[in-house]
């Protein structure tokens, strides 16, 4: 009746030990619920632990740069909206800034203020949706995303009434902005900005001290300041490692030196710090917005000397960069005097931030890969271009 | 499963508290109100798709909020975004993996024709070259309302599908294909560049 010991010992080894020492290759993506678009990772697993990770790009390669070289300078402006489709305003600004550098165009004061306001609003909605996505990657499926999108919709309403489109604003022009604010816009924006800290308080109360969130993010995906600098990481990811580098302070473009704001810094460079960095930056952005809305002067919004039709900048090259919500967003343009740029190159922050994905993921479990990827904040339109 | 119920009789009976229906109506009513989309975004339009499913536009009102990450559980594929040539085989494969009856919404200019990126060397000029599309939504990106409208159009289409007879729905016809050949990477382009069984562009008469 009973099984003898020797029989038990001779039983085949359990299934799990058959892969002993061998790595199991898993292909995550390109259709995956939390790869934020069409991104694929070939992961080699030992049990649950990631031993190798190879990102596969190019599923959304839309020839942005090639098209940019074959269209006029102004014609590329709507394409920049579609780079990082969360932040069309900052993309517009970075592109306009590099063309303005190339052609030596001055921007009127009101336009600069408008740009700051719109860029910070973009930051609000980008970071808010990032928090939602990150939490849903962690398994808080749905609810935080709903909260985040509720705030995002309010900002998109402002963008829509200003530019005519919710996401693809195509609002900035070389030497200014396309049109002035519609009546009542500033009051609505002010109301939104004043109410935003309430959302943040609520959000922080809901998630930030949540035990599960802390367990999933603290000490996960640690990035050292040294590696971050060497790999060219920028944006909140770099500041989460404690490196004080914010182009708004360093370059001081677009009247940012006129505003009082602090640059929040992390300490550990783990996912929790990266997440908190977004929350803290949101609070600073609210401060910048309030100051900018206070100070914005009346006046023209576009430099009347710029001829947008048949726009031909002089021969030369320029690199314009801004602190986008995801990091340093730059456009490098070479002009041969024609109506198209000779070379058009984008420095996408999320692509460069993604390059260290393997370093962050090694030694963590598969489930953590999603959290780490979410905390990097990528948008495939910008990564693959 | 007989012919249509007489409308007058039906309303007469309804007043008595008797609900008369046909199998077809009941079947289509059930299918139309629980369409599960594939959770699958490609590019910018996918963000509008998420916005449609999120708090403000609330796709759940139409029974479409259950986004399934697995094609095996999905009824509807919303092709939301630019289809590149690298991605097209995967999309056809995902479509093939979906069980019948299955529907496709082609969301945005890119999925319809390549949209703003049509001149790109890596961009597929419309997903309808490889898989049949039920509803097209123009726009770049289409507003969430447009997606809701497409959803309602799809519901209308499902409602009109017949279960028997000559003009029965294609998924009930054993002779109709439910899977389509997956294109392969050729030397310069996808091989074949289009599936002529599926792709019927309108001829423009001038
Ligand atoms: S149609 Fe427009 S918004 Fe949609 S994926 Fe294409 S470029 Fe993006």
Structure tokens of A146? 């709903």
CATH number assigned to the domain comprising residue B72: 3.40.50.12280
Q: Whose CA is nearest to atom 6 of ligand 1?
A: B110
Closest CA of chain B from A380, distance in Å: 7
Q: What is the mean pLDDT of residues A2-12?
A: 48
pLDDT at A117 exceeding the cut of 70: yes
Q: What is the mean pLDDT of residues A146-157?
A: 87
Structure tokens of A195? 């109410």
Check CB contact under 8 Å for B84 and A58: yes
Residue recorded with tokens 């002035």 = A180
Rounded Cα distance between A76 and A333, Å, is: 12
Other beta carbons within 10 Å of A121: 25
Q: What are A59-85's pLDDT values in tens digits?
A: 888 888 888 888 888 888 888 888 888
List the single residue in B54, B84, B140 with the smallest CB-CB distance to A145.
Answer: B54
Task: Return the DSSP state at A297.
Answer: P
Q: Which residues contact A43 (CB under 8 A, 6 or more apart)?
A: A25, A26, A27, A28, A50, A52, A53, A54, A361, A366, A369
pLDDT-based confidence at residue A3 (cuts at 50, 70, 90): very low
**What is the pLDDT at residue A18?**
55
**What is the pLDDT at residue B2?**
47
pLDDT at A348 exceeding the cut of 60: yes
Q: Is B149 on the interface with A (CB under 8 A)?
A: no
pLDDT at A263 exceeding the cut of 60: yes
Q: Is B53 on the interface with A (CB under 8 A)?
A: no
pLDDT at A10 exceeding the cut of 70: no
Ligand 1-lining residues (CB < 6 angstroms): A 82; B 43-45, 81-82, 108-110, 115-116, 140-141
Q: Which residues contact A162 (CB under 8 A, 6 or more apart)?
A: A118, A169, A171, A179, A181, A182, A185
Nearest ligand 1 atom, CA B48: 3
- Spacing of C-alpha B77 from chain mean position: 6
pLDDT-based confidence at residue A357 (cuts at 50, 70, 90): confident
The answer to whether residue B23 is domain-embedded is no
**What is the pLDDT at residue A166?**
87
Closest CA of chain A from B87, distance in Å: 5
Rounded Cα distance between A293 and A302, Å, is: 18
The answer to whether residue B168 is domain-embedded is no
pLDDT at A335 exceeding the cut of 60: yes
The pairing of beta strand A176-177 with beta strand B135-137: unpaired
**What is the pLDDT at residue A301?**
84
Of the ranges A204-208, A250-254, B96-100, B164-168, the best mean pLDDT one: B96-100
Which of these, A376, A211, A357, lies nearest to A277 by C-alpha position? A376
pLDDT at A209 exceeding the cut of 50: yes
Q: What is the mean pLDDT of residues A258-262?
A: 86
Domain residues for the domain of B89 are 36-159
Q: What are A281-309's pLDDT values in tens digits?
A: 888 889 888 888 888 888 888 887 878 77
The answer to whether residue B183 is domain-embedded is no
Ligand 1 centre from A313 Cα, in Å? 29
What are residue B181's phi and psi, to 5 degrees?
Answer: -60, 135
* C-beta of residue A18 within 8 angstroms of C-beta of residue A24: no
Say what percent of chain A tops pLDDT 70: 94
Residues of chain A with Cβ-Cβ distance to B39 below 8 Å are: 33
Overall domain count for chain B: 1
Buried residues in A141-170 as b, exposed as e (16+ CB within 10 A): eeebbebbbebbbbbbebbeebbebbbbbb
What's the mean per-residue pLDDT of chain A?
84
**What is the pLDDT at residue B172?**
79
Check CB contact under 8 Å for A82 and B94: no
The pairing of beta strand B135-137 with beta strand B103-107: parallel
Angle (CA) A353 A354 A359, round 5°: 100
Q: What are A161-200's pLDDT values in tens digits?
A: 988 888 888 888 888 888 888 888 888 888 888 888 888 8
pLDDT at B156 exceeding the cut of 60: yes
Residues of chain B with Cβ-Cβ distance to A64 below 8 Å are: 117
What's the mean per-residue pLDDT of chain B?
85
* C-beta of residue B181 within 8 angstroms of C-beta of residue B87: no
Ligand 1 centre from A30 Cα, in Å? 18
**What is the pLDDT at residue A20?**
62
* C-beta of residue A85 within 8 angstroms of C-beta of residue A167: yes
Rounded Cα distance between A131 and A333, Å, is: 33
Residues of chain A with Cβ-Cβ distance to B123 below 8 Å are: 62-63
List the single best residue of B45, B70, B86, B113 to mutate versus A (max A Cβ within 10 A): B86
A326 sits in the region (left: phi over 0; alpha: psi -120 to 50; else beta) called: alpha
pLDDT at B19 exceeding the cut of 70: yes
- Pocket residue to mutate for ligand 1, from B110, B120, B147, most atoms within 8 A of Cβ: B110
Closest CA of chain A from B30, distance in Å: 25
Q: What are A361-371's pLDDT values in tens digits?
A: 888 888 888 88
Other beta carbons within 10 Å of B53: 23
The answer to whether residue B22 is domain-embedded is no
Structure tokens of B153? 């159009």
The pairing of beta strand A172-173 with beta strand A49-56: unpaired
List the single residue in A63, A86, A380 with the smallest CB-CB distance to B117.
Answer: A63
Rounded Cα distance between B40 and B94, Å, is: 10
The answer to whether residue B69 is domain-embedded is yes
pLDDT at A112 exceeding the cut of 60: yes
Ligand 1 centre from B47 Cα, in Å? 10
Give the chain A residue nearest B84 (alpha carbons).
Answer: A60
| Bridge partner residues of B190 (DSSP) | B185
**What is the pLDDT at residue B62?**
85
* C-beta of residue A362 within 8 angstroms of C-beta of residue A223: no
pLDDT-based confidence at residue A19 (cuts at 50, 70, 90): low
Nearest ligand 1 atom, CA B108: 1
The answer to whether residue B120 is domain-embedded is yes
Structure tokens of A297? 């002067």
pLDDT at A13 exceeding the cut of 60: no
List the single best residue of B37, B38, B43 to mutate versus A (max A Cβ within 10 A): B43
**What is the pLDDT at residue A5?**
46
Q: Is A79 on the interface with B (CB under 8 A)?
A: yes
Check CB contact under 8 Å for A152 and B51: yes
pLDDT-based confidence at residue A2 (cuts at 50, 70, 90): very low
The answer to whether residue B27 is domain-embedded is no
Q: Which residues contact A78 (CB under 8 A, 6 or more apart)?
A: A168, A170, B116
Check CB contact under 8 Å for A380 and B39: no
The answer to whether residue B103 is domain-embedded is yes
Other beta carbons within 10 Å of B27: 15
Rounded Cα distance between B43 and B81, Å, is: 4
User: With the C-alpha atoms ordered A103, A108, A113, A117, is the resulting torsion angle positive or negative?
Assistant: negative
Which of these, A201, A209, A215, lies nearest to A371 by C-alpha position? A215
pLDDT at B130 exceeding the cut of 50: yes
Exposed, middle or buried, A4 (CB in 10 Å: 0-12/13-18/19+)? exposed
Structure tokens of B65? 């909020």
Closest CA of chain B from A165, distance in Å: 9
Q: Is B40 on the interface with A (CB under 8 A)?
A: yes
Q: Is B72 on the interface with A (CB under 8 A)?
A: no
pLDDT at A6 exceeding the cut of 60: no
């Amino acid at each position: 009746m009973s099984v003898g010991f020797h029989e038990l010992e001779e039983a085949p080894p359990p299934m799990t030990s058959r892969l002993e020492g061998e790595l199991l290759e898993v292909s995550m993506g390109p259709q995956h619920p939390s790869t934020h678009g069409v991104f694929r990772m070939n992961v080699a697993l030992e049990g649950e632990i990631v031993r190798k990770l190879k990102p596969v790009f190019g599923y959304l390669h839309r020839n942005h740069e090639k098209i940019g070289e074959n269209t006029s300078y102004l014609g590329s402006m709507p394409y920049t909206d579609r780079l990082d489709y969360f932040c069309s305003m900052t993309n517009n600004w970075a592109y306009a800034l590099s063309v303005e550098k190339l052609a030596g165009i001055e921007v009127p004061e009101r336009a600069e203020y408008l740009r700051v306001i719109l860029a910070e609003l973009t930051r609000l909605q980008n970071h808010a949706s990032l928090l939602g996505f990150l939490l849903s990657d962690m398994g808080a499926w749905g609810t935080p995303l709903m909260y985040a999108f509720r705030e995002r919709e309010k900002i998109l309403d402002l963008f829509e009434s200003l530019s005519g489109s919710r996401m693809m604003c195509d609002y900035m022009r070389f030497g200014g902005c396309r049109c002035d604010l519609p009546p009542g816009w500033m009051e609505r924006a002010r109301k939104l900005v004043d109410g935003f800290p309430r959302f943040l308080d609520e959000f922080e109360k809901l998630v930030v001290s949540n035990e599960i969130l802390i367990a999933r993010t603290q000490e996960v995906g640690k990035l050292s300041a040294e590696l971050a600098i060497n790999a060219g990481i920028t944006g909140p990811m770099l500041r989460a490692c404690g490196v004080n580098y914010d182009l708004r302070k360093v370059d001081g473009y677009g009247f940012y030196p006129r505003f009082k704001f602090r640059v929040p810094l992390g300490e550990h460079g783990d996912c929790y710090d990266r997440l908190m960095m977004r929350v803290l930056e949101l609070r600073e952005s609210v401060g910048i917005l309030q100051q900018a809305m206070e100070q914005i002067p009346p006046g023209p919004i576009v430099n009347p000397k710029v001829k947008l039709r048949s726009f031909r900048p002089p021969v030369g090259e320029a690199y314009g960069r801004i602190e986008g919500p995801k990091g340093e967003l730059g456009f490098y343009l070479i002009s041969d005097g024609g109506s198209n740029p000779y070379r058009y190159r984008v420095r996408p922050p999320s692509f460069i931030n993604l390059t260290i994905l393997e370093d962050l993921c090694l030694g963590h479990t598969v489930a953590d890969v999603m959290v780490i990827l979410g905390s990097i904040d990528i948008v495939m339109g910008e990564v693959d271009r | 499963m007989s012919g249509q119920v007489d409308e007058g009789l039906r309303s007469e009976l309804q007043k008595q508290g008797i609900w008369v229906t046909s199998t077809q109506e009941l079947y289509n009513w059930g299918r139309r109100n629980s369409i599960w989309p594939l959770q699958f975004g490609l590019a910018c339009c996918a963000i509008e798709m998420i916005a449609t499913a999120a708090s403000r536009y609330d796709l759940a009102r139409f029974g479409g909020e259950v986004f399934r990450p697995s094609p095996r559980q999905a009824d509807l594929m919303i092709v939301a975004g630019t289809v590149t040539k690298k991605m097209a085989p995967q999309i056809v494969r995902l479509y093939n993996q979906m069980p019948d009856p299955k529907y496709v919404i082609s969301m945005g200019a890119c999925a319809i024709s390549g949209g703003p990126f049509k001149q790109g060397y890596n961009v597929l000029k419309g997903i309808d070259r490889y898989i049949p599309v039920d509803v097209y939504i123009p726009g770049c990106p289409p507003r969430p309302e447009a997606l809701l409208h497409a959803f309602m159009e799809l519901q209308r289409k499902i409602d009109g599908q017949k279960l028997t007879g000559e003009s029965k729905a294609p998924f009930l016809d054993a002779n109709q294909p439910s899977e389509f050949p997956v294109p392969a990477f050729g030397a310069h382009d996808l091989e074949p560049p289009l599936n002529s069984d599926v792709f019927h562009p309108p001829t423009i008469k001038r």
